[in-house]
Structure 1
């Protein structure tokens, strides 16, 4: 009971730390930033160029190199205090020619072509393709229970869809993605010759979703594809009627030597506490299909917009504010890892890091992983300043893949949370294109991140 009373007292003390005058001043400043973003925003046209002129930009590709130079030039033109490149060696996997897959040798159906995409990092099939019987499972546990006798020589079909009861679609994604990441190696340990994975998607359509797999060092490497949700339903239905049908797939991806690439970093130097750093960022790379618009072109241009908005408002930050365009989030996380390593080597003091990597949809709030309770309560106390802009979901738990390596007992990791109900319809697909991004939603997102950065800078943690 005593602990509860103390906790309530702490919460009450931190819930309203600002005077009425300060709240009014902050409210006006934030309102003006939103006005600036919505009437003179630059992020939408930046995204148009990134997606339309450069396009998909998988790590190691010429397009990724072009995106680095584009981001550097964009931030230099903003007149920031410093813009620089941070070297990072990245993996270079190429998809090869168009993949092909079909359901064949069925006693109840003619051969049916289905839409697939090789999972990122997959090895190739033999030149003429791979054909084998199929065994369907819903989970890694179900696969292990089948044992080697029922799996050896077959293609394992992982067919666990999203749990549609989750309101937050990220949780549905998290509940399904283990079969894509670990499924190929788990199947290979039991003698499987290939893997087909139901796309990590919230809807039913004919667009397959790629994404990275993680081969275990102690298991054979076997080819793996994602099948569209519509194709997965077809395959599952046919298997119920004909357990002996076969699946044919042909892939020819390959791994090339690592390539030198860069994180692109721009900063506004702090005037009072320059040693305290606030980072906002997204990942510049994308998968090699579509245009990488929502994943994660929107996060990159929103992060640059944060610094542009502060400059446009004539704001002089107390702390150093950085925008980081991370390289290689999709298939290695080397950019985020390198940034954290350099920060540690140089003894840098990060107080907060915000990542935008959930698409450019309508802003809803922020997910926060705070180093302690007072920090969380301080962030939560700003909700009244952010709520007028639809930022009601300020909750515990959040961050991002690229800022994750910065985690220690002093830094707050914050994930920008837009509405994600449509995100996993297009995530990692050829459908992730510029035309799927709404200008106003994108600009609201940049302003939302800028508002939080302003409060973090002014009041610190």
Structure 2
């Protein structure tokens, strides 16, 4: 459908005057028809793909606190203005930074071979000459925790646990704890360094980076992830019963404090502009790939959905706000800053949803709304059924950057993407544009446009103190 014809069809569906909000949350039949038109138009738009192509080509890697981060902020502002958002602004976010530096490893004995590693975010570096020590292997983080005192004294701990592939990404939680706190637990056992099997589901010889944390009262040791094939290689060497000695060299170091920004674009509502539906994705990425899946796709999907609504001849009742969050990767820093800045305005947030799980097709929608708004949530899901999406439950998380707002009682939705292959690429050099399927991205945009539009138009609300 051509844009002029699309706009004419939508104009014919608008009803006046606007109805007064009913006590029980509800959807108007004509708004549902408009949502269906928007859904079908999104499947033909491919606007989202153009946006993520622009971000990955013109900016590329954008780790928090780097020149790529600053370039991404400028790109985000310019893109939102170019796409016709009514308001575009920035909100500052300040945080410490980290520099990667050199990262190499090799088996010294008994079978000398190179290894592929990457430093974990905020790891300290080794001495310039590197760190050489014998490997001490543990199956899981729990095995390491339960080991005797000084069990790894003077050694490099190796955690072997292999993440399991799952459509919903449920294998991530049991695996990622080794990345987050492995260095602390290894140091408690006397280790001088730690290597973990990458938190990923691929067999490529690429290591997966990601954040780790130290504890103030525990000595800091260098921490890195091994590619899956190299983790297998170490396991095979260890099976031969001989001591395995490894040298690792990391140039990682802390950087200076830095101020970045949450970049925000708004389609301003025609009736209650102070109330808004919040959608978005995080603008930062790790430095190894171009951040196409994590989270250029999420930025693109939600921006494209709002832009499609902006094409309508009349603005929706409420505003639709797209947030390109700052520094999600290093601890939801932008999300926490936004929640703090807007904590006295929570009643104006109708609901929120973040896209941050790649670009696979959405297969389920979950809600977190008050009981009498469940029929509206389920009706929204029903309108998504032609996209292959069904309703799940009322226990949505909303996405990582919505955790701070959700914990303050804001209603959220989760549009569950198929993440079967997501962790093949997550936090690796392989997170690039070619992994995105245009049709799947359009399906995502179609789902978000339905949610955003109907949430902005609904009579009543989803609740403001949701547990």
TM-score of the superposed pair, with normalisation by structure 1: 0.90
After superposition, the C-alpha distances for 1:324-374 in whole angstroms (9 at most, x for unaligned) are 00000001321000111111145662121110000011122333333x333
Check if 1:103 corresponds to 2:103.
no
Q: Partner of 2:400: helix, strand, or coil? A: coil
Q: 2:388 aligns with which of 387, 390, 399?
A: 390
Distance 1:331 1:243, change over 3 A: farther
Tell me if structure 2 keeps the 8 A contact 1:169–1:424.
Answer: no
Distance 1:146 1:213 in 2: 21
Q: Which residue of 2 aligns with 1:10?
A: none
Q: 1:66 aligns with which of 58, 65, 71?
A: 71
Q: Which residue of 2 aligns with 1:117?
A: 118
Distance 1:169 1:187 in 2: 30
How far residue 277 of structure 1 moved from its aligned partner, in angstroms, is 2.0
Distance 1:243 1:373 in 2: 62
Tell me if structure 2 keeps the 8 A contact 1:33–1:313.
Answer: no
Q: Which residue of 1 aligns with 2:99?
A: 94
Distance 2:417 2:106 in 1: 37
Q: Which residue of 2 aligns with 1:293?
A: 292
Q: Which residue of 2 aligns with 1:263?
A: 262
Q: Which residue of 1 aligns with 2:273?
A: 274
Tell me if structure 2 keeps the 8 A contact 1:59–1:91.
Answer: no
Q: Partner of 2:385: helix, strand, or coil? A: helix
After superposition, the C-alpha distances for 1:364-389 in whole angstroms (9 at most, x for unaligned) are 2333333x333445312332211111
Tell me if structure 2 keeps the 8 A contact 1:91–1:332.
Answer: no
Distance 1:17 1:259, change over 3 A: closer
After superposition, the C-alpha distances for 1:295-349 in whole angstroms (9 at most, x for unaligned) are 0000011111121010113342111210000000001321000111111145662
Distance 1:357 1:45 in 2: 18
Tell me if structure 2 keeps the 8 A contact 1:328–1:335.
Answer: yes
Distance 1:175 1:368 in 2: 24
Distance 2:168 2:116 in 1: 24
Distance 2:172 2:31 in 1: 37
Q: Which residue of 1 aligns with 2:250?
A: 251
How far residue 89 of structure 1 moved from its aligned partner, in angstroms, is 0.7
Q: Which residue of 1 aligns with 2:150?
A: 149
Tell me if structure 2 keeps the 8 A contact 1:55–1:292.
Answer: yes
Q: Which residue of 1 aligns with 2:17?
A: none
Q: Which residue of 1 aligns with 2:90?
A: 85
Distance 1:279 1:335, change over 3 A: same
Q: Which residue of 1 aligns with 2:42?
A: 37
Distance 2:206 2:97 in 1: 24
How far residue 194 of structure 1 moved from its aligned partner, in angstroms, is 0.5
Distance 1:295 1:368 in 2: 23
After superposition, the C-alpha distances for 1:150-207 in whole angstroms (9 at most, x for unaligned) are 211111111111235xx43421011111011011111112211111111111232211
Q: Which residue of 2 aligns with 1:161?
A: 162
Q: Which residue of 1 aligns with 2:412?
A: 413
How far residue 399 of structure 1 moved from its aligned partner, in angstroms, is 1.6
Q: Which residue of 2 aligns with 1:7?
A: none
How far residue 147 of structure 1 moved from its aligned partner, in angstroms, is 1.9
Tell me if structure 1 keeps the 8 A contact 2:46–2:438.
Answer: no
Distance 1:414 1:238, change over 3 A: same
The CA RMSD over aligned residues, in Å, is 2.0
Distance 1:174 1:347 in 2: 29
How far residue 442 of structure 1 moved from its aligned partner, in angstroms, is 1.1
Distance 1:56 1:323, change over 3 A: same
Q: Structure 1: any 5+ residue segments left out of the alignment?
A: 1-15
Residue correspondence of structure 1 range 208-227 to structure 2 within 5 A? 208-227=207-226
Distance 2:322 2:66 in 1: 23
Distance 1:369 1:217 in 2: 36
Residue correspondence of structure 1 range 167-186 to structure 2 within 5 A? 167-186=166-185
Distance 1:18 1:260 in 2: 42
Q: Structure 2: any 5+ residue segments left out of the alignment?
A: 1-23, 463-467
Q: Partner of 2:337: helix, strand, or coil? A: helix
The count of aligned residue pairs is 436
Q: Which residue of 1 aligns with 2:13?
A: none
Q: Which residue of 1 aligns with 2:352?
A: 353
Distance 1:59 1:301, change over 3 A: same
TM-score of the superposed pair, with normalisation by structure 2: 0.89
After superposition, the C-alpha distances for 1:72-127 in whole angstroms (9 at most, x for unaligned) are 01111222221101011133211113x11112211xxx311111111111110111
Q: Partner of 1:444: helix, strand, or coil? A: helix
